[in-house]
Amino acid sequence: MNPPDSGPVFGTFEKDVLPKKIAEKILSLIKEKQLHPGDKLPPERELAAVMQVSRPSVREALQALSILNVIDMRQGAGTFVTSLEPELLVEPLDFVFALDNSTLLELFVARKILEVGIAGLAAERITDDELAALDVCLHKSLAAAAADNYEAFLQTDLELHKLVAAAAKNPILNRFMDSISQLGLASRRRTVIIENLARESADDHRAIVAALRARDPAAAQQAMLKHLNNVEQGLKKLEGAP
């Protein structure tokens, strides 16, 4: 028996359905906006009855979605759709990158396409207040690199790239940047400990900020590309790649 028309229609499957199909259906309901961030899902027993599947199949599907941070299974409270924020959803991909070095290198290809363009746009649109914030971030970046404080440098690196993206004032690019920054955490954690790379990156940050202050799009793009190329080469050396 299907649930009322006012709620999401979870549907039914064949008796030998794989938990994957159940998970795909829940994901589809989220994409179709029938389920929203923070919504509470029906209990396992009800979902199993509505979909005409076994409770273990439902439980396995929900556990898989929980690992992906799509849902939050709260003991004694129920199962909820998470906030679905990009940084939350991409966390499990750190593990993928840890297993596949070529994926990390492909990430740099994507970053160079996206962030070089963002830097050029930011140079045209950046405000004095945003430049002031970048100056503060640059100071922290230089200090952390000089002290070989890798964790602090990693955080300032993320902050600087985020500030540059915000200065571009394009909400779509900014959304992409939110996701790609989190994906980049896996590569940053590897490269930040390479000898002298943090200090070289801090110098790159200085050049990026200087180009933005000059409001020179071409120089900003060149400085960002040089920075990303330097870090990419550090990763290749770390992994023994040519």
List phi, psi (to 5°) of 73: -95, 105
| pLDDT confidence tier of residue 2, bands split at 50, 70 and 90 | very low
- Please determine whether the domains at 19-83 and 93-239 fall in the same fold group of CATH: no
pLDDT of residue 226: 97
List phi, psi (to 5°) of 94: -55, -35
Who wins on pLDDT, 223 or 85?
223
What angle, 0 to 180 degrees and rounded to 10, lies between the N-to-C axes of helices 150-167 and 171-191? 160
Cβ atoms 109, 198 nearer than 8 A: no
- CATH code reported for the domain at 93-239: 1.20.120.530
In whole angstroms, what is the distance from residue 90 CA to residue 67 CA?
A: 11
Strand partners, 81: 71
User: Mean pLDDT, to the nearest integer, of 214-226?
Assistant: 98
User: Mean pLDDT, to the nearest integer, of 64-90?
Assistant: 86
pLDDT of residue 1: 45
pLDDT of residue 95: 62
Reported as half-sphere exposure (CB side, CA atoms, 13 A), residue 45 has a value of 0
| pLDDT confidence tier of residue 194, bands split at 50, 70 and 90 | confident
**Whether residue 219 has pLDDT greater than 50:** yes
In whole angstroms, what is the distance from residue 209 CA to residue 219 CA?
A: 10
**Whether residue 242 has pLDDT greater than 60:** no
- The 10s digit of each residue's pLDDT in 3-37 is 455 677 666 555 555 788 899 999 999 999 999 99
**Domain 19-83 class in CATH:** mainly alpha
- Residue 125 contacts by C-beta under 8 Å, 6 or more apart in sequence? 167, 168, 169
214, with CB counted inside 10 A (0-12, 13-18, 19+), is exposed
In whole angstroms, what is the distance from residue 41 CA to residue 56 CA?
A: 16
Domain layout of the chain by residue ranges: 19-83, 93-239
Going from the C-alpha of 20 to that of each of 26, 32, 99, the distances in angstroms are 10, 18, 23
Can you state the percent helix, strand and coil of the chain, rounding each to 5?
70, 5, 25
**Whether residue 98 has pLDDT greater than 70:** no
